Amino acid sequence: MVDICIPPALAEDALKMAEDNCHPAWSKGHQRGKYFIVSTDSLDDMSEMADFARVSLEDPDHTLSKNKRAACQALLDRTHRHAVLEPLGDIHCLAVAWRDKPLKGSKGSRVVTELRKASSDSPTFRQPRLS
């Protein structure tokens, strides 16, 4: 079982997704003080959280504030610590395996850069970019 702390800047979005039943991962969360914690043992849940963070960074609905961008990078890093993430097209990602031992924390932007590079190097299906 892994506990992923959703940064406070994204807690409102996470609570809304839990209420809207967007994905079962968000309904596994609980409020602990000002933090929203998702407890899971499912790679599918890890994929959902990582994909939410990556899509928010790569193709935001509207301009991200500096605080929200940092929160998305932190969430992506927190999922990357526990699960191996693979790019799925240019803006999505997928958790493909659990790590034997969690990685130490790192800068979230490094994870984004690694996923972008892996996505551009991959000969697999690439989603077309919308202009």
Task: Kindly list the domain boundaries of the chain, sorted by start residue.
Answer: 2-121
∠59-6-89 over CA atoms, to 5°? Answer: 30
More confident residue, 12 or 124: 12
Quote the mean pLDDT of the chain: 86
Segment 116-128 shows an average pLDDT of: 62
Question: Model-level pTM?
Answer: 0.82
Angle among Cα 40, 45, 49 to the nearest 5 degrees reads: 110
Q: pLDDT exceeding 70 applies to what percent of the chain?
A: 89
**Cross-strand bridge partners of residue 40:** 2
Average of per-residue pLDDT across 86-95: 93
Q: Are 75 and 93 in contact (CB under 8 A)?
A: no
Mean pLDDT of 25-39: 89
The larger pLDDT score, comparing residue 113 to residue 68, is at: 68
- Tokens 């504030």 belong to 65
Q: Report the first-to-last Cα separation within the chain, whole angstroms.
A: 41
Identify the band that residue 131 occupies on the pLDDT scale cut at 50, 70 and 90.
very low
Per-residue pLDDT, 125: 47
Residue 113 has a pLDDT of: 77
